[in-house]
Structure 1
Amino acid sequence: MTSTPERVTPPRPGPGTQDDELGLGRYLAILGERRGTIAASVALALAVGGLYLLTTAPVYRANAILQIEQKASSLGQLDALIPDAPSMAATEMEVLGSRALLGRVADTLNLGVSVEPHHFPLVGAAWARAHEGPELAAVPWWGRATYAWGGEKLQVERLNVPTEWEDEPLTLVAQADGAFTLWGPDGRAVLHGVAGTVARTEVGAAHEVELDVKELRARPGTRFRVTRRSRLAVVEELQRTLRMAEKGTGTGVLNLTLEGPDPVQATTTLRTIADAYVRTNVERRSDDAGRTLSFLDSQLPGLRQGLEQAEAALRDYRANKGGVDLALAVQAVLNRSADLDKDISSLTLERSELRQRFTEHHPLLVAMERKLARLRTERTALETRLKDIPDAERVSAQLTRDVKVANELYLQLNNKAQEYRVLKSSTITNARLIDAPVVTRLPVRPTKPDVFAVSLVLGLVAGVALAFARRSLHPGVTDPAALESALAVPVLASVPSGPHRATGPRLP
């Protein structure tokens, strides 16, 4: 009886052994096998990047430099010892970005009216941007004349719509000889008009609209999207696109940038913002001088009347009693008393001026009250000393003091009023434009190198990920060495797979 040797199945490597692990060479082999997939993914990503560059409107950046002179600090040299002192530039940047200032800019440039030609989807805007010259671009054979292909122009001077139609796009359809028809957001014709004249809806219409078209150059049938934007929406957009930064801490030099798809409009808008700020700065300083001047002018008549009364009282006393010679000690007390009265009156006027801007608990007003109290105490002491002087000398000294105080105070206030009159009529701003706005020659975004670099990286990542995903979804043995290691039997030949083709008549 012949015994058949028992077939022993060699042990297979368990999971987690070195044979199951893919080495660097195996990774490279997988990438080589799927190189077509990776190349297709990269080509597709680059094509998408090119399409993005073609369809995305370029954005330009305008830049300007503004200098704001710092006001002199009341602390003198002690101001240098305060490292966290607030910069004046931070306050002025808030003024630059305020709704009041940007609203004036929007009204000046009529930014509330938005006009956009209706382009062919995807490539129409790029086709129009590539057109050069004032004439209308030719309509391509695959397009329609109702689209804008380049060279069209619609200048709207004024557009008034109901509140419910604000920020809603209206459609303006060009006609022959500058005529046009405006369609509402509900698809109904609102009004008809001609460029160069103001078109209005009939009185009592459901939606009253007023449109002033200054210039219209387009083929008949060309459509435009016309939108009356709300003032708040325009201001908020300016606040988002306007960038401000101080060049160096404490320098007072501001770098202003504004981005937009139209380089001319970006430059004009930034220039208008800078001019409006400088003009606002002048008006603000002039208003401050005007308020102070009004206060001084209101006090001058009373001071003039008091001076005349004091001079009349001294003149009448001397006419009745004759001249009285004052001793040196009395004269010194008189001069000091006059100085105190003048200082008290000056501080009282200054306190009245400060009360118009600050509360009673402000440090300046508190310090001024303490100084007034100290001066009044000293004046009371001097008046006590004057009571010990003989009546004739005391009355003469008091009248002389009143005249001196009233005269000096009137002259001081009158000189100060003259200074503020000059200041108001020749107000000089502390802000000036160093560099006028200029726009970049090339768009800041999108840029071709960045877009293609990102597209290349994304294409490679997607291609590699797809290659390994296909490897995971279609497992199998493609390496003869791996098969020999797994089964412990030699591989004598390998048959490549391919499509089945008939080489002759099939056997029955």
Structure 2
Amino acid sequence: MNQNAQLTDDTINLRELFFTLLTQWKLIVFCTVFTLVCAAAYLKVAKRTYSVDAKIQIIDNKQNGLAGLNSQLAALGSLAGMSLGSLGNQQSIQTEIEILQSRSILAKTIQDLNLDIQIQPEQSLLNKLLSTDQFQTNYTIDEVQVKNHKAKFSIHQFNIPKQYLDQNLILNFHGQSFNLISEKTGLEVFKGTVNQKTAPRLLKTTWTIDITSPQPLEGRYIVQKQSILTATKAILEDFKATELGKQTGIITINYEGADKDHIIKVLNHILEIYQEQNLATKSAEKEKTLSFLNQQLPELKNNLEQAERKFNAFREAHGTIDIQQESALYLKQSVELETQKVQLEQKQAELAAQYTAQHPMMQEINAQLGVFNKKINELNGALKKLPNTQSQYLQYYRDVQVQTQLYTNLLGTYQSLNLAKAGETGNLRILDYPVEPTRPIKPRKLIILVLSIFVGGFIGILIALIRNMLKTGVRNRDEIEQTVGVKTYAELSEISKKSNASLQSLKTFIPTLTFKLQQRQHNVTLISSIVPDQNQNIIAQHLALYLSQTGKKVLLIDSDLYRGQLDQLFNISTKPGLCEYLRGQVSLEQIVTDTASPNLSLIVRGQSSDEISISSHQTHIAQLIQQVRAQYDYIILSAAPVLTISDSLTLAQFTGFNLCLVQYGQTQLKDIELAKSYFENAGLEIDGLILDQVPAYQTKQYQYQPN
């Protein structure tokens, strides 16, 4: 084999690949149509999924830990080396998202709307494909309403023992009665009556089931009572909350489901509960502060009155005292510190409603109070150094001013909190409520159908390529001749059974065949196959027809006693044939039949049996061939496959030219070599081959001229 041939073998023949796929177009179309039908069936069974959304704005009106204090306290805190902004307790957007997805919100929604009761009709896949019934459920606070073309009923209560939670139960109706069957065990676990609340005790567990219907019921349904955890997970699978954009303060909520009205109802209920809990939390904070002020105000008022009485008594006893500049400064700082300390204690009470004493914000508040107490103690020490009369005057005067300012500030805060509580709206606002969707988001019909076409085509092409790869047999005549050393005289298309045009290369082989027979002074040709070939009978028929068209008398003998079908190809009714002749039941004249084609006669195989074979009747075959050789110009023997039975070798002893069929892509080179060795061991040879079932695009017309 030369270098060019090797290069050709190692490269991909795109033309061959293209025509390989083209010849298997039926397979590709079948796979495409099949996947398209499967996609259509899926679209029929699959539930349409809709999506609704809502938007929530989180308003940042939460003041930080010291924002309610005056600017002087903030400045003092800064001088003390503490960051007041670090006391902020603003909840992040992610915190609000987690609250929305928490069981405190979803579990209440499940309980309010009875979402832990799941029910659907019991249907097979075929029923789902053929059924046009619309099964509807309506979840309300009081009941779960079920409706289809067969029945209409409501489930008001469905409380079952814990061991049956999250399990499928078959609800089977019989008129006015019903029973529950465990799908897991197949046993009946409960029996009840429609329109009658039943709560019997079974095995020390309580069932409370209340089902009502205006009419007798028939049918089977699959019902499941879910635990709170399972029902919550089921909602979370279809529930999604995300921030609309970074630092926008807006949360987008999406909820998916098959029932448009149902998903709108559920999402609205979630928003309602979320608002209620948010408002309750805000009100609780103010309620805690008001409770603190209710305790402090009477005490401050009493302290103020006592301070005023002591101050007035001192003035009456000693008269007016001129306060020096230093005393005035001490007085001012002392009043401010006492006021700020009380305000900080007020803020501490507010934070105590939300956080524990170990929380960083609470610890920072306590640290601030420590700083203020230290400053106050320092001022008190400085005041004690003043002259006794001035010191007492200043002390009484300071007490009156502090108590007056504290009482006034706390009274104002108390009024403000009462007003704020009355108008509390929470720190969120619903921007968009869910609206009814117009189109389902799943399944996407067009995309699924288009993908099914591509997938089907791809699968068809893949199978076609795999089939082609599995054809590991011989593919061209050069490969056979160079490896085995036997000539290939013709290539026949794989559609030869339907078209005579595909056998034209067989017709061009006739001159070569006649020349070979004349050279050997013989007129008998054997045509067999290496392995069983479905086209062998057709090829033998046409070879005999083409020979008879030359004006010569031709006899075609069906010597394949097991698979011969020449009688069917020539439309000849069953009659005695070669098998009967070998048994000695009929004579040669009785088995020879004239065909519709001039100059062509036929001997059919007859009624075969397991005990009859060519090899066991070699003498009779020799006599038959000896007789017909003198009567006909050409005799063609259509024999059994070489590697299947030894009949071909027996017949080859009486022939002048032995021709074997080789199937394109199926017959292996080793099979051809094995068949050749069989002939050589018997002192015979295979004179030529015909490459059969070659793809139409590869068929070549060859004609061997006599040397």
**TM-score, scaled relative to structure 2:** 0.60
Report what 1:79 is aligned to.
none
Match runs of 1:252-401 below 5 Å:
252-318=249-315, 321=317, 323-327=319-323, 329=325, 330-351=327-348, 353-354=350-351, 357=355, 359=357, 362=360, 365-366=363-364, 369=367, 373=371, 376-377=374-375, 380-381=378-379, 383-385=381-383, 387-391=385-389, 393-401=390-398
Deviation at 1:323, TM superposition (A): 3.5
Report what 2:198 is aligned to.
199
Q: CA contact under 8 A between 1:37 and 1:463: conserved in structure 2?
A: yes
Match runs of 1:35-434 below 5 Å:
35-71=25-61, 88-119=92-123, 121-125=124-128, 127-129=130-132, 131=134, 150=149, 152-176=151-175, 179-185=176-182, 186-188=186-188, 190-195=190-195, 197-201=196-200, 203=201, 206-215=204-213, 220-318=217-315, 321=317, 323-327=319-323, 329=325, 330-351=327-348, 353-354=350-351, 357=355, 359=357, 362=360, 365-366=363-364, 369=367, 373=371, 376-377=374-375, 380-381=378-379, 383-385=381-383, 387-391=385-389, 393-434=390-431
Report what 2:652 is aligned to.
none
Counterpart secondary structure, 2:435? strand
Change (3 A) 1:216 1:436: farther
1:465 to 459, 462, 465: 462
Identity %: 22
Separation in 1, partners of 2:315, 2:197? 81
Separation in 2, partners of 1:101, 1:167? 21
Change (3 A) 1:367 1:155: closer
Separation in 2, partners of 1:303, 1:52? 77
Separation in 1, partners of 2:97, 2:121? 35
Counterpart secondary structure, 1:438? coil
| Farther off after superposition, 19-28 or 464-473 | 19-28
Separation in 1, partners of 2:153, 2:135? 17
Deviation at 1:240, TM superposition (A): 2.0
Q: Deviations over 1:330-358 (max 9, x none)?
A: 45543443333323333344345546625
Change (3 A) 1:345 1:125: same
Q: CA contact under 8 A between 1:173 and 1:221: conserved in structure 2?
A: yes
Counterpart secondary structure, 1:212? strand
Letter in 1 for 2:108: R
Deviation at 1:189, TM superposition (A): 5.5
Deviation at 1:172, TM superposition (A): 2.3
Deviation at 1:123, TM superposition (A): 3.8
Counterpart secondary structure, 2:262? helix
Deviation at 1:427, TM superposition (A): 0.9
Letter in 1 for 2:459: A
Letter in 2 for 1:192: G
Change (3 A) 1:215 1:273: farther
Change (3 A) 1:130 1:188: closer
Change (3 A) 1:481 1:432: farther
Tell me which stretches of 4 or more aligned residues in structure 1 moved more than 6 Å: 12-15, 479-491
Deviation at 1:232, TM superposition (A): 0.9
Separation in 1, partners of 2:440, 2:158? 31
Separation in 2, partners of 1:283, 1:380? 43
Change (3 A) 1:475 1:360: closer
Change (3 A) 1:434 1:363: closer
Matched, 1:447 2:444: yes
Change (3 A) 1:345 1:442: closer
Q: Deviations over 1:46-70 (max 9, x none)?
A: 1111111112222221222222223
Q: CA contact under 8 A between 1:347 and 1:368: conserved in structure 2?
A: no
Separation in 2, partners of 1:438, 1:350? 43
Letter in 1 for 2:194: V
Separation in 2, partners of 1:431, 1:485? 88
Deviation at 1:107, TM superposition (A): 1.0
Q: CA contact under 8 A between 2:307 and 2:400: conserved in structure 1?
A: yes
Change (3 A) 1:21 1:59: same
Q: Deviations over 1:443-475 (max 9, x none)?
A: 211121122122112211211111122222234
Report what 1:17 is aligned to.
7
Q: CA contact under 8 A between 2:194 and 2:212: conserved in structure 1?
A: no
Change (3 A) 1:107 1:471: same
Report what 1:141 is aligned to.
none
Letter in 2 for 1:432: R
Separation in 2, partners of 1:454, 1:259? 24
Q: Deviations over 1:49-100 (max 9, x none)?
A: 1111112222221222222223467599xxxxxxxx9982211111111111
| Farther off after superposition, 13-22 or 105-114 | 13-22
Separation in 1, partners of 2:204, 2:197? 19
Deviation at 1:422, TM superposition (A): 2.1
Separation in 2, partners of 1:466, 1:122? 28
Letter in 1 for 2:97: M
| Farther off after superposition, 329-338 or 154-163 | 329-338
Deviation at 1:130, TM superposition (A): 5.0
Counterpart secondary structure, 1:428? coil
| Farther off after superposition, 17-26 or 273-282 | 17-26
Change (3 A) 1:45 1:383: same
Q: Deviations over 1:265-286 (max 9, x none)?
A: 1111111111211111111111
Change (3 A) 1:364 1:453: same
Letter in 1 for 2:117: V
Deviation at 1:199, TM superposition (A): 2.2
Cα root mean square deviation, aligned: 3.6
Counterpart secondary structure, 1:324? coil
Counterpart secondary structure, 2:155? strand
Change (3 A) 1:93 1:193: same
Report what 2:504 is aligned to.
none
Change (3 A) 1:443 1:154: farther
Q: CA contact under 8 A between 2:199 and 2:209: conserved in structure 1?
A: yes
Change (3 A) 1:410 1:257: same
The number of residue pairs the alignment matches comes to: 471
Counterpart secondary structure, 2:434? strand
Separation in 2, partners of 1:327, 1:267? 74
| Farther off after superposition, 123-132 or 306-315 | 123-132
Letter in 2 for 1:70: D
| Farther off after superposition, 488-497 or 418-427 | 488-497
Separation in 2, partners of 1:490, 1:405? 125
| Farther off after superposition, 208-217 or 347-356 | 347-356
Counterpart secondary structure, 1:251? coil
Q: CA contact under 8 A between 2:49 and 2:442: conserved in structure 1?
A: yes
Report what 2:598 is aligned to.
none
Deviation at 1:306, TM superposition (A): 1.9
Letter in 1 for 2:321: D
Q: Deviations over 1:144-190 (max 9, x none)?
A: xxxx97463332122111110111222222343xx231224152262
Separation in 1, partners of 2:465, 2:178? 59
